[in-house]
Structures are given as C-alpha cells and as structure tokens.
Amino acid sequence: MIVLLLSLQLNVLKMDSLLSNIKIAVPDKIYIKDPESSDLGKRIIEHSIILIDEIGFDSFTFKKLGVRIGSNESSIYRYFESKHKLLLYLTSRYWAWVEYQLVFATHNVPDDNTKLTKAIEVITRTIKEDVTFTHINEVVLNRIVINEYSKSYLTKEVDSENKEGYFVLYKRLIRRLSEMITKVNKDYQFPSSLASTIVEGALHQHFLKSHFISITDCNDKVTPTKFFINLTQNVLNIKTNGSK
Amino acid sequence: MIVLLLSLQLNVLKMDSLLSNIKIAVPDKIYIKDPESSDLGKRIIEHSIILIDEIGFDSFTFKKLGVRIGSNESSIYRYFESKHKLLLYLTSRYWAWVEYQLVFATHNVPDDNTKLTKAIEVITRTIKEDVTFTHINEVVLNRIVINEYSKSYLTKEVDSENKEGYFVLYKRLIRRLSEMITKVNKDYQFPSSLASTIVEGALHQHFLKSHFISITDCNDKVTPTKFFINLTQNVLNIKTNGSK
DNA sequence: AATTTCATGATAGTATTACTATTATCTTTG
DNA sequence: CAAAGATAATAGTAATACTATCATGAAATT
C-alpha cells in the first residue's frame, strides 16, 4: 500500500496528525504502474475523469483516452490492465478523499451527535468546487461516482476483487460512519445497514434529482443531506435541540 | 401498451377487480415483437433469465442465448433490438409483478400503518419460491434485479429512455409506496425520497449480505425487511403497538 | 562518451461483441 | 396448394478489449 497525500490547504502539522490516524491509501494491485509516479500517469487520471464524465463509462475506451491526451493506447495499458481497474482506482481515490474530509470535519468535535451530523453532511453533500489544486477534479469525480460506482461492484468478480482489497476504502468509510451511529445510540440494532444505506442512498438521491424527479423530494433546496440527517435523527430517536 | 396477465392462483373475479385498478403492462416499445406471442419468445425470456443469472449481464450475449435455446442469434434480434432492451423488459416485468403482489397484499387492509408495513414486506423480502408456474422464475429474476437493475438506468440514455416510458413500472411502484407513507404521516416531508430509498436500499442490502457482510447487519435472520420496517416506523414516529 | 535502461510510441494482430443484411427453409393459414 | 409469416443459416462490419513486438528517444549509469 502506498500512502497517497491529498494536497488540501492545511498546515503540515494538522495534516500529519490526521494522516497518522487514517492512512489514506489505494490498494497497489489496482494499478500496474503507479499513475502518480509520472507525468503521463497524471494525465491519464486527469483526463479519464473528464472523458468518463463526458461520454459515460460504457463508451469510454483507452483508445479514445489516448487520442484525448495525445498518447498511445498501449501506453495506457502499462498503467492499468483494464478500464474496470481504472474505475476501481478512481473511485477508491474518491472514497479516500471523502474519508479524509470526514476525519477532518469531525475531529475535535466533542458532541457525538454533532459529530454524526457533520459526518453525514460530508458524505451526502453535493461537491460544488474543486477543493484541491491537483490533476483530480473532485466535482467531476463526484459525478462519476454517482453515475458509475455501482458498476464497479455489480460484477461476477466482486468476491475475488473484494478479497484483493479493492473495496477497502469504501467499506472503511461506511464502518467509520457505523461506529459514529453506535456512539450516538448504543441500542440501535442496525448501525452498519443504516450507514451503508446513507452512503449508497445519497448517491442514489443525487442521481434521482437529475433524472427521475418524480420519485424523490430532493432538489437544489431540499438536499439529500437534509433528508438523511432528518432520517438519521428520527431513526436514532435524537431529540432535536435548537442549535444547528 | 399491452396488458400483461400474471398467472397467479387467484379466482377470476378477484383478479379482474385488481387488474382494473392497476393495469400491469410493459411499455410496448421495449420490444420489437412481443415475446409472449410465440413459443420462441417465451423461451427467450425463460432462458435469458437463467443465463444472465449464471454468467452475469456483462458476459451475456444473444449468441450465447441462441446456443442455449437451440435457436439463432438473428431470430432473437427480431424480438429485442439489444440486450439492454431485454434487461429493461425483464426488470419491467419484475416491477410489474412486485406491484401486483403489493396491491394484492394491501387491498382491503383498513389500517394505514399495517398497510404500509405489508407493502414494505412485499418490496423488501427475499423471494424464496417460484410462485407462478409460468416461464418466468421469480426467484432467479429477483437475483437479476439485485445484481443488474442499476445498470439499466446508469447510462447516458436515461433521460431519453425515461421519456419513452421504460421506467414507468419502477416509478409507479415507488409512487404507490410514497402515497402510503403520506397516509401514515401527513407531515413527513420526504415521502418520495423515503420510498425510493426503501426500494433501492432493499436491493442494496440484499447485495451486501451476499458480498460485503462487514457493512450490513442483514443476514438470514436479520432481514432487510426488518431493517426497513424499523427504519420507517422510527422515521414516521409510529408508536409500535403490540400487534404484529 | 558510450551504453544500458526505461518509458513511451507505433504498428499489427486476435477473438469477441453487437449488431445488419440477405437468402433459404420451414410452418401455418386461407 | 399457394402465399404469408416466422425462423434459421450465413456472411459481413465496425468497434472493443485487449496482447505482442519492435522502434525511438531521453535519462541514468559506467
């Protein structure tokens, strides 16, 4: 596992203490050659995100990406053995980034309930701006996750790929949320299912508000965040106090 | 729209009254030629369900299906213009079947809360036996929906296909559930989002309990049904009375 | 300065997919 | 019995998802 530094605007000290806690990493078997290790690799990541967003993962090919970045199909294959692995890589980085944001937003928050609420906010919000100034555009990557993430695990190879560790980031984020739920209400019987429902459900509600508005209440004003915070508060029997 | 009779063991009178209410139908543009209208058509449906379950939708091809049913690839193309349309057809029939079960299980139930609970049971349960004795195996079809349904709408063509009416059955089921939620609690602000979360979330929990057990509490004893009934009761502030 | 290494590029090739088109054959119905 | 309609067989196409080989150019090593 290679530790992957996310360049957020933090001072070094804070970053260090956070990183020692969470170790953001992408399982190294996902790629053949680390795309962060070269200029071409970074261009592959940057433009694959843009291309997949534009034409959809199904129509996306390494050949088209090659044309886009002025490079050769065969060169891209030296980094990723298939477009499926590329998707796995991109979405892993997304979940790693969300986990980082979650740890950052919730550390040093003393009240467990406020902490949970902040966690749900981070997980369910619409990403509006490209926070980091790297080759990865989080706004676009978020759209890809909404539109394509399910395809990365709805395969006949899930079980073997799960064993290889390709979904650790996703699962760890959900487990983190699950633990926060349990801290707020020790007697609640389904913390993991609630957590996985929030993470998956948020993606789904974001999708619905763009394509199936008749089966969601979410829109630009009523956000998935509001829906899931309200839901969680009710499910865990939290008395809403006046404070936001 | 051609009305599609589901051969359940019901007396004709009851069936008539139910059908007049719900009109179970598959949008006819989904297929080129109605597969119910011929023996070959029915074999296509029956064995496509089995084959997709066996090898997964991604590896499924009309050529392989042709070999399986001792027919020719080109003949299958006379019924469906693509395997994507076939998926749309199969899943539409699934949702139509669930809707039918839902209407059947909830009609004449006077108490709104009991009605909602029964509806959630129908939507979230594991299908254990092949109820009908047609060419469609609902147990296997249910597995296909769990593993492949998302792929039918996570495409660049969703909006145009939605306009063509390919997702009406799915949306109508969710709207039906949404209405039941509102009847139980008129003040609840997110009935549609709750309904879509239950339907999608149930599929997801079923998937998780087969492949990612560490992020769900569901298993053979703790069913997705229990989780979602408990969740809904809490979200809608329903006081649990002793009666089951 | 020569050489080895290494990353990338170019080209070719393969099996499969997702179809379309045409023609032949077989079955049903008038 | 003939015509119509359904199905089967065959061929063909462009694209996909790769693999393999060889060339080139730049950087690092000797």
Pairing of strands A25-26, B2-3: unpaired
A147 near B154, Cβ under 8 Å?
A: yes
Average pLDDT for residues B1-11, to the nearest whole number?
36
In this model, does residue B14 exceed pLDDT 70? no
Extents of the domains making up chain B: 2-29+91-235
Helix (H, G, I), strand (E, B), or coil: what is residue A25? strand
Residue B176 has a CB neighbour count (10 Å cut-off) of: 17
Q: What is the mean pLDDT of chain A?
A: 89
In this model, does residue A6 exceed pLDDT 60? no
Question: A192-222: per-residue pLDDT in tens?
Answer: 999 999 999 999 999 999 999 999 999 999 9
A180 near A114, Cβ under 8 Å?
A: no
Helix (H, G, I), strand (E, B), or coil: what is residue B179? helix
In this model, does residue B5 exceed pLDDT 60? no
In this model, does residue A21 exceed pLDDT 80? no
Residue A16 has a CB neighbour count (10 Å cut-off) of: 11
* Neighbouring residues of B108: CB distance < 8 A, sequence distance ≥ 6: none
So what's the pLDDT on residue A13? 37
Average pLDDT for residues A221-235, to the nearest whole number?
97
Query: What's the full length of chain B, in residues?
Result: 244
Residue numbers of A between 136 and 155 with CB closer than 8 Å to B: 147-148, 150-151, 153-155
CA distances for B243 relative to A172, B113, B177, angstroms: 39, 12, 22
Tokens of A145: 């996750």
Position A135 confidence tier, pLDDT thresholds 50, 70, 90: confident
**More confident call, B152 vs A27:** B152
Which residues 57 to 116 of B reach strand C, CB within 7 A?
A: 59, 61-64, 73-74, 77, 81-84
Region of B222 on the Ramachandran plot (φ > 0 left; ψ -120 to 50 alpha; else beta): beta
**How does DSSP assign A175-235, residue by residue?**
HHHHHHHHHH-TT-S-HHHHHHHHHHHHHHHHHHHHH-GGG---SSSS-HHHHHHHHHHHH
pLDDT-wise least confident of A29-33, A128-132, A226-230, B160-164: A128-132
A132 CB below 7 A from strand C atoms: no
In this model, does residue B208 exceed pLDDT 80? yes
Q: Strand D: which positions are within 7 A of a protein CB? A: 6-11, 15-21
Q: Which residues of B117-138 are buried (b: 16+ CB within 10 A; e: fewer)?
A: bbbbbbbbbebeeebeebbbbb
Does residue B216 sit at the A interface (CB-CB below 8 Å)?
Answer: yes
A90 near A147, Cβ under 8 Å?
A: no
Does residue B203 sit at the A interface (CB-CB below 8 Å)?
Answer: no
So what's the pLDDT on residue B237? 87
**Spatial separation of the C-alpha atoms in residues A120 and A177, rounded to whole Å:** 8
Does residue A192 sit at the B interface (CB-CB below 8 Å)?
Answer: yes
Which residue's CA lies closest to nucleotide D17 at its C1' atom?
A: A82
Q: How far is A156 from chain B (nearest CA, A)?
A: 6
DSSP B26: E
Q: Which of A175, A215, A236 is best to mutate for the B interface (most B CBs within 10 A)?
A: A215
**Spatial separation of the C-alpha atoms in residues A102 and A173, rounded to whole Å:** 9
In this model, does residue B54 exceed pLDDT 60? yes
8 Å CB contact of A205 and B196: yes
DSSP A239: P
Question: B91-136: per-residue pLDDT in tens?
Answer: 999 999 999 999 999 999 999 999 999 999 999 999 987 666 688 8
Q: Which residues of B194-225 are buried (b: 16+ CB within 10 A; e: fewer)?
A: bbbbbbbbbbbbbbbbbbbeebbbbeeebbbb
**Spatial separation of the C-alpha atoms in residues A75 and A32, rounded to whole Å:** 11
Q: Which residues of B touch A175 (CB under 8 A)?
A: 214-215
Q: What is the dihedral of CA B181, B184, B187, B188, to 10 degrees?
A: -30
Residue type for position B99: E
Helix axes of A168-184 and A83-106: crossing angle, nearest 10 degrees: 30
Q: Which burial class, exposed, middle or buried, applies to A87 when counting CB atoms under 10 A from its CB (0-12, 13-18, 19+)?
A: buried
Helix axes of A112-124 and A224-235: crossing angle, nearest 10 degrees: 150
Question: B24-51: per-residue pLDDT in tens?
Answer: 578 878 999 999 999 999 999 999 999 9
As a rounded value in angstroms, the CA-to-C1' distance for B98 and C15 is: 41
